[in-house]
């Protein structure tokens, strides 16, 4: 259970949200499903690319970490899966770390996020939020908020990818490139990026994945500060 003081820290006006996902084991699908997934893969290389991309889709992946960080208080929570391995709750860097199943992570996320007026994400409209909503439905978890509403109003959901590309008018760059362009410390500087999450998870390095997500939150915070100061209206 989250401690009362951790919940209090989260009951504020805005929160940065980021998730980490992994793909399901391709071998776990029946033959018909495997054939469907590989339908347009002509070479072995293309087949491997399909298998690696399973983490990008809610029907073929799952949520292993949900990070929530309040930029006004410097407090937050990291919810993460540990696949049955017992990891005691602890606090680190202003964030409260708690392990659970995917369903438990989703339940706690929707319970906490409903207290906020605004969420801040990087590419959240195209990835994080649809992924969370679909995985919630699959797990039988009721969604408490719709952060996929009116696209052109960032007051409820500020997706920095949308804002910094001016809703698709300019080219998209990844979080690492934006961070370096704005002189912000990148979450990738410590040698881990999103493409490595699946392998780290297989190695049971659950906390490494959660801490990487924490660094993503801090990078997003830095980027949002620039946008909020110079580009928001």
Distance CA 198, CA 26 (A): 13
For residues 78 and 214, what is the distance between their CA atoms, to the nearest angstrom? Answer: 7
Q: What angle do CA 211, 212, 215 make, to 5 degrees?
A: 90
Task: Provide the 10 A C-beta neighbour count for residue 32.
Answer: 8
Domain count, the chain: 1
Q: Is 164 helix (H, G, I), strand (E, B) or coil?
A: helix
* Grouped pLDDT means (10 residues each) for the chain, 233 residues: 48 88 95 95 93 96 98 96 92 95 98 95 98 99 96 95 97 96 86 85 95 96 97 91
Domain containing residue 137: CATH number: 3.30.420.10
pLDDT given at position 12: 56
Question: What pLDDT is stored for residue 8 in this prediction?
Answer: 47
List the one residue out of 106, 53, 92 whose CA is nearest residue 215. Answer: 92
* pLDDT at residue 10, rounded to an integer: 46
Identify the pLDDT of residue 178: 96
pLDDT digits (tens, 9 = 90+) for 145-161: 999 999 999 999 999 99
Query: Full-prediction pTM beyond 0.75?
Result: yes
Lookup: tokens for 50: 């399909």
- Domain of 209 in residue numbering reads as 4-230
Cβ–Cβ < 8 Å for 133, 20: no
Chain segment 200-222, per-residue pLDDT in tens: 999 999 999 999 999 999 999 99
Measure Cα distances from 36 to 26, 33, 40, 41, 179 in Å.
12, 5, 9, 10, 38
pLDDT for the residue numbered 79: 98
Within 10 angstroms of residue 206's Cβ, the number of other Cβ atoms is 20
């Amino acid at each position: 259970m989250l401690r009362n003081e951790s919940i209090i820290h989260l009951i504020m006006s805005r929160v940065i949200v980021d998730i980490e996902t992994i793909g399901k084991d391709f071998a776990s699908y029946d033959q018909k499903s495997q054939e469907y997934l590989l339908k347009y893969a002509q070479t072995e290389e293309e087949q491997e690319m399909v298998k690696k991309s399973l983490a990008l889709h809610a029907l073929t992946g799952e949520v292993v970490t949900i990070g929530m960080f309040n930029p006004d208080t410097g407090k937050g929570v990291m919810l993460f899966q540990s696949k049955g391995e017992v990891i005691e709750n602890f606090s680190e860097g202003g964030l409260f770390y708690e392990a659970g199943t995917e369903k438990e992570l989703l339940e706690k996320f929707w319970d906490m996020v409903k207290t906020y007026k605004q969420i801040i994400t990087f590419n959240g409209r195209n990835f994080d939020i649809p992924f969370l909503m679909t995985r919630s439905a699959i797990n039988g978890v009721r969604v408490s908020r719709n952060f996929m509403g009116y696209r052109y109003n960032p007051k409820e959901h500020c997706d920095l990818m949308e804002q910094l590309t001016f809703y698709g008018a300019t080219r998209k760059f990844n979080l690492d490139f934006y961070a370096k362009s704005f002189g912000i410390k990148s979450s990738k500087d410590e040698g881990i990026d999103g493409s490595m999450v699946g392998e780290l998870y297989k190695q049971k390095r659950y906390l490494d994945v959660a801490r990487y997500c924490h660094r993503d939150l801090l990078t997003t915070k830095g980027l949002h500060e620039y946008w909020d100061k110079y580009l928001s209206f």
